[in-house]
A and B are shown apart, each in its own frame.
Chain A
């Protein structure tokens, strides 16, 4: 394998337009108004967040809307400090699973509101089970990043 042969550099750019449908549209409209919506399954009674059109376990429609609490508990987290092509979030960041109060699944989002550049310091602050609260963006577009992150209480 000592000899180097030719390689070709190539790229693919494809435009997409993805449909939200009724349930996800309503969820994201809620974010614009600083509200987090879930839906409750009438069969297993779990509150699912983000809102779903059907319960993934019971396979029944979930049309009962619930505005959920903006505070919750940290379930898991990971400090990310590497980079790849097209990475949608600028590192360093802390991805986290958060159990919002009164809900029955974990929401995947970020934790922040403190110095993330100092890894040793960040790791000291973050503990499973800690209470967190949503911090909102000023400029909300109906996007998951309308919540900037969840900050420790």
Chain B
């Protein structure tokens, strides 16, 4: 695994509809906060990694050049990592590889998106080629709904049960968002509201779906030597996993979903995790859609295939359950896509260092962060622990 690497600080913007600031100023808001959190200054940083969803989201290409001052990357090596929805986790992986390689001691990772400046579904549709598939995908909701439909049909999960479980997830995450100062959507919803909300792409309804958010997340990765020298509480990278599958949506099974299963397995093997539900204390699962969150629980081995709705309804994945998932309110309440995966990593780091404030899972020592990208094509995982 190379040298030991730690996350020593995080900074997030107040996510939401942020038409009050220009895009570079929004980036700077998160970067200032990570320097404030760590007590470091830009001159300490050896290299910068940044990323976004397709640059078309905001209509400006190569945003890592646009934000070079806001990230204080001038005069330093800079990399851009772009893997659609999993961009944030890929940025974290890139920063991790850089430090683990021994070629840098301190790397700044920045994920950003300003979705309210563009048209998110029109942008996402361009991820799909126009020869065969673009006409049928219907943006992100179409893809994920088809996958959810296939999953519930395969395991014969009754419509009433899946609706109840989806509503449970939506209600609890919306409640959790009130405990996260940086979350975007802060509304009180009831199970009845979720179940009767407008259909977007059947079976998915409005309150099963994430918002369009503007937001930036910045994280500093440090070498073992540097983390010890700085003497700060650190979240240690225990394992990373990333897997892709074929481009054509119909080429691989999206229920027993190999990229998700294998990415988790790779990270668990590195971290020495045998029973994730028992050993993990908290998970920040990428959950832009309630149904998909449940499928991830199954792919990550938190429970058997077809059983997640039962466990959700028992509270297994709630804040006080056996394995709390998305105590931040998750992607369902905040989704600035290029930042979203890195927010999962930042939240996991905050949990294992005891800095998650009102949504802290008491005593959390081992956390999973995850993001998914493309037309159900890529999955990335990072496991963080409180001990080296």
Question: Residues of A with Cβ closer than 8 Å to B?
Answer: 1, 3-5, 7, 10, 12, 18, 20, 24, 48, 50, 56-57, 75-82, 84-89, 91, 93, 95-97, 105-110, 119, 123, 128, 144-145
The answer to whether B147 has its CB under 8 Å from any CB of chain A is: yes
A107 to B122, CA, bound (A): 22
Stretch of B72-80, B127-135, B347-355 on the interface side? B127-135
Contact B142 A88 (CB under 8 A): no
Q: B125 — which chain A residues lie within 8 A by C-beta?
A: 84, 86-88
CB pair B135–A56 under 8 Å, yes or no, is no
* Contact in complex: A56, B59 (CB < 8 Å): no
Q: Are A105 and B251 in contact (CB under 8 A)?
A: yes
- Cβ contacts under 8 Å, B20 to chain A: 1, 3-5
Write the nearest CB–CB distance from B139 to chain A, whole angstroms: 6
CA of A27 to CA of B132 in the docked complex: distance in angstroms?
11
- The distance from the CB of B198 to the nearest CB of chain A, in whole angstroms, is 9
In the complex the two chains form, is A79's CB within 8 Å of B199's CB? yes
Query: Do B139 and A81 touch across chains, with their CB atoms under 8 A apart?
Result: no
- Using Cβ atoms and an 8 Å threshold, which residues of chain B touch A78? 138, 142, 145-146, 149, 201-202
CB distance from A145 to the nearest CB of B (A): 6
Would B132 and A85 count as touching, CB distance under 8 A? no
Contact B199 A108 (CB under 8 A): no
Q: Which residues of chain B are near A105, meaning CB under 8 Å?
A: 248, 250-251
Q: Does B182 contact A (CB under 8 A)?
A: no
Given contacts A105-B250, A128-B150, contact A7 B136 (CB under 8 A): no
Tell me whether B200 is interfacial, beta carbon within 8 Å: yes
Instruction: Name the residue in A79, A86, A96, A119 with the highest tally of chain B Cβ atoms < 10 Å from its Cβ.
Output: A79
- Please, which residue of chain B has its CB at the minimum distance from the CB of A82? B200
Would you give 5 A-B contacts (Cβ < 8 Å), ordered by A?
Answer: A56-B248, A88-B130, A88-B134, A106-B251, A145-B135
- Given A12-B56, A77-B146, A87-B122, 16 other A-B contacts at CB below 8 A? A1-B20, A18-B130, A24-B131, A75-B150, A78-B138, A79-B202, A81-B201, A82-B141, A89-B135, A93-B136, A93-B138, A97-B249, A108-B249, A119-B199, A119-B202, A144-B135
The smallest beta-carbon distance between B154 and chain A, in angstroms, is 8
A143 to chain B, nearest CB (A): 9
B136 contacts A108, C-beta separation under 8 Å: yes
In-complex Cβ contact of A95 among B19, B56, B138 (8 A): B138
Question: Bound complex: CA of A24 vs CA of B130, how far in Å?
Answer: 12
Closest to A103 in B: B250
A128 to B142, CA, bound (A): 17
How many residues does chain B have at the interface if contact means C-beta atoms less than 8 Å apart? Answer: 40
- Which residue from chain A places its CB closest to the CB of B136 in the assembled complex? A95
Task: Point out the residues of chain B lying under 8 angstroms from A12, CB to CB.
Answer: 56, 59
- Residues of A close to B311: CB separation below 8 A: none
With a CB–CB cut-off of 8 A, which chain A residues contact B56? 12
Partner of B132, one of A50, A95, A97, A119: A50
Q: Are A18 and B199 in contact (CB under 8 A)?
A: no
Cα–Cα, bound, A88→B136 (Å)? 8
The minimal Cβ–Cβ distance linking A102 to chain B, given in whole angstroms, is: 15
CB atoms of A97 and B131 under 8 A apart? no
Interface string of B194-232 (1 = CB under 8 A from A): 000001111000000000000000000000000000000
Instruction: Report Cα–Cα, A56/B249, bound state, in Å.
Output: 13
Interface assignment of B18: CB less than 8 Å from any CB of chain A: yes
Report if A81-B146 is in contact (Cβ < 8 Å); known contacts: A1-B18, A1-B20, A105-B248: no
| Cα–Cα distance between A79 and B145 once the two chains are bound (Å) | 8
In the complex, which residues of chain B have a beta carbon less than 8 angstroms from the beta carbon of A77? 146, 149
Q: How far is the CA of A117 from the CA of B134 in the complex (A)?
A: 22
Name the B residues within 8 Å of A88 (CB-CB): 125, 130, 134-135
A76 and B147 contact, CB distance less than 8 A = yes
In the complex, chain B residues 112-136 whose Cβ is within 8 Å of any chain A Cβ: 119-122, 125, 130-136
Q: Chain B residues near A57: list those with CB within 8 A.
A: 246
Instruction: State whether A80 and B142 are in contact (beta carbons under 8 Å apart), knowing that A105-B251, A119-B199 are contacts in the complex.
Output: yes
Known: A76-B146, A84-B119. A108 touches B19 (CB 8 A): no
Please state if B153 and A128 are interface contacts (CB–CB under 8 Å).
yes
Chain A residue nearest to B118 in the complex (CB)? A85
Is the Cβ of B150 less than 8 Å from the Cβ of A76? yes
Look across to chain A and name the residue whose beta carbon is closest to the beta carbon of B18.
A1
State which of A10, A18, A48, A110 has its C-beta within 8 Å of the C-beta of B136: A110
